């Protein structure tokens, strides 16, 4: 486990068929939970989660967290990929929409999303999942891909469940 996940290696910047992506997520789930077990620092968990997910889903071009640092402000947290924007207000972008509504945002074509923030011009689709504990928004998990429609409803559901399993622990220090 110290060397990473036990999954077949896949080339980055590829979009494998959906069944392959779903199988990888299923296989990765217990491994991710095992790596994070016992860690109570939320940023340590976020950093490790982002790094692990980076290897699970080869369609990712960006994978990481924006942390809530004010009533309506997010600041970038641990991530993998190209340079991300540093701050995002709740009224901007896909991340802001997820933070504001506390609802997952699955965007098949970011060019069709009014106000999308293009940190990377090559980004084409995006999935943002809120991290909410006891009704309080703590962060959002932001996933980007250079492929159109790279995140299915099934992946969104599995990832929502995984985020809950990894970040809803009451002992976590935020």
Exposed e or buried b for every residue in 31-41, given b needs 16+ CB within 10 A? bbeebbeebee
Q: How far is the CB of 33 from ligand SME (least distance, A)?
A: 25
Q: Indicate the helix (H) or strand (E) that contains 77.
A: strand 73-81
Residue nearest to ligand SME (CB): 93
CB of 120 to ligand SME, least distance (A): 6
Instruction: Give Cβ neighbours of residue 102 (< 8 Å, ≥ 6 apart).
Output: 130, 132, 137
- Angstrom distance (rounded) from CA 70 to CA 50: 22
Q: Measured from the CB of residue 5, what is the shortest distance to ligand SME in angstroms?
A: 23
Residue 117 structure tokens:
């923030």
Q: 63-102: which residues touch ligand SME (CB under 6 A)? A: 84-85, 88, 93-96
Q: Which of 45/116 has CB closer to ligand SME? A: 116
- How big, in percent rounded to 5, are the helix, strand and coil portions of the chain? 35, 25, 40
Contact set for ligand SME, span 127-146 (CB under 6 A): 142, 144
Nearer to ligand SME (CB atom), residue 15 or residue 117: 117
Member of 22, 47, 108, 117 binding ligand SME (CB under 6 A): 117
For residue 100, what are its two tokens?
């504001």
- List interacting residues with ligand SME (CB under 6 A): 62, 84-85, 88, 93-96, 116-117, 119, 123, 126, 142, 144
């Amino acid at each position: 486990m110290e060397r990473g996940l036990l999954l077949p290696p896949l080339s980055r910047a590829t979009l494998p068929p959906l069944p392959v992506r779903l199988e990888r997520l299923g296989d990765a789930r217990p491994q991710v939970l095992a790596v994070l077990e016992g860690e109570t620092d939320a940023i340590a968990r976020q950093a490790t989660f982002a790094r692990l997910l980076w290897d699970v889903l080869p369609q990712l071009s960006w994978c990481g967290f924006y942390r809530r640092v004010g009533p309506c402000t997010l600041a970038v947290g641990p991530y993998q990929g190209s340079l991300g924007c540093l701050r995002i207000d709740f009224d901007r972008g896909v991340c802001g929409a997820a933070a504001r509504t506390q609802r997952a945002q699955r965007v098949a074509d970011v060019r069709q999303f009014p106000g999308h923030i293009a940190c990377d011009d090559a980004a084409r689709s995006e999935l943002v999942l809120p991290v909410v504990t006891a009704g309080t928004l703590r962060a959002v998990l932001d996933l980007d891909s250079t492929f159109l429609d790279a995140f299915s409803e099934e992946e969104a559901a599995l990832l929502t469940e995984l985020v809950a399993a990894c970040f809803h622990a009451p002992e976590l220090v935020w």
